[in-house]
Structure 1
C-alpha cells in the first residue's frame, strides 16, 4: 500500500512570517501539534508545538516569526512510497509525522497514527513508534 492511500491530504500550513502566537492559535483551533512551513507550495520547514515552547515562548518571544523556531531539515516522503518506507523514515529520523511531496510540492502529511490504523501497517507502525520513543542512552 502506498502513502497516498493513508495520508491526510487537507493539510493546513503556515509561512515563515507568521508569528508564534498566530501559529499557536491555528494549532489550537485545528487540534494539531505540528504544521508544515511552506513558501510557493514548497515545504521549507516544520514547526511543532514543542518547537514553539522550547525555542520561543519560554524565552518570551511570542511575537517572533516561525522562522526563528522551525526545523528546516525536513524529512519528506513521496506519495508513491510504500507504508514500510514511510515507517522506516520515521524510525530513522525519530519523527512522528512526514510531509508528503509530489514533484517537490506538499500534497499531504502522513503520521504514525495513519500507519497504525491500517492492518497491514500495524507491525511497521509499532516498530517505528518503538524506535522513535527510545531514549538515546549514549
Structure 2
C-alpha cells in the first residue's frame, strides 16, 4: 500500500512569518498537534508542534513569537508513492509521528501519521513497532544507551 492511499489530504499549513497563534488555531480547529510550515509556493520548509510553541515561546514569555522562532527547520518528508512500510521505517528512524507528503517539486500534498498507518490491518505491527521506537528517549535519565 502507498502513502497516498493513507494520507490526510487538504492539510492546512502556516508560513514562517505567521504568529504562533495561527498554528495554535489550526491545531485547535482540526484537532492535531503539528502543522507544516510552507513557503509562498507551498513547499515544506519546516514543522511546528504544540510542544514547540509551548517550550520555545510561551514558556519563555514570548507570546508575540513567530512560527520561525519555534519551528523545526529540517523536515523528513516522503512522496505519495512511498510504500507504507518505508514510511513507518522513516518515522521510526527519525523518531517522528507525522510525515509530510510532498510532490516532486517539494509542494505539500498531504500528511501521513502513525495513526494513519495503524488504521490499516496489515500495518498494525509496523505502526506499533515504529511508535515504540519513536517513544524511546534518546537523552535524559530514561534514555536507552
Structure-1-length-normalised TM-score = 0.96
Aligned residue number for residue 108 of structure 2: 106
Cα distance in 1 for residues equivalent to 2:62 and 2:24: 12
Where is the strand percentage greater, Structure 1 or Structure 2? Answer: 1
Cα distance in 2 for residues equivalent to 1:32 and 1:17: 21
User: Are 1:66 and 2:88 an aligned pair?
Assistant: no
Cα distance in 1 for residues equivalent to 2:111 and 2:44: 11
Aligned residue number for residue 134 of structure 1: 136
User: Are 1:50 and 2:30 an aligned pair?
Assistant: no
Deviation, 1:23, is 1.9
Aligned residue number for residue 19 of structure 2: 19
Q: What are the Cα deviations for residues 47-94 of structure 1, in whole angstroms up to 9, with x where unaligned?
A: 000000011111111111100110000000111010100000000000
Q: Is the 8 A contact 2:95 2:134 kept in 1?
A: yes
Structure-2-length-normalised TM-score = 0.92
Cα distance in 2 for residues equivalent to 1:113 and 1:93: 16
* RMSD over aligned Cα atoms: 0.9
Cα distance in 1 for residues equivalent to 2:21 and 2:78: 29
How many residues matched?
Answer: 138
Aligned residue number for residue 89 of structure 2: 88
Cα distance in 2 for residues equivalent to 1:50 and 1:127: 23
Cα distance in 1 for residues equivalent to 2:26 and 2:103: 25
Aligned residue number for residue 76 of structure 2: 75
Unaligned runs of 5+ in 1: none
Unaligned runs of 5+ in 2: none
Aligned to 1:77, the other structure's residue is in SS state coil
Deviation, 1:25, is 2.1
Deviation, 1:22, is 2.6
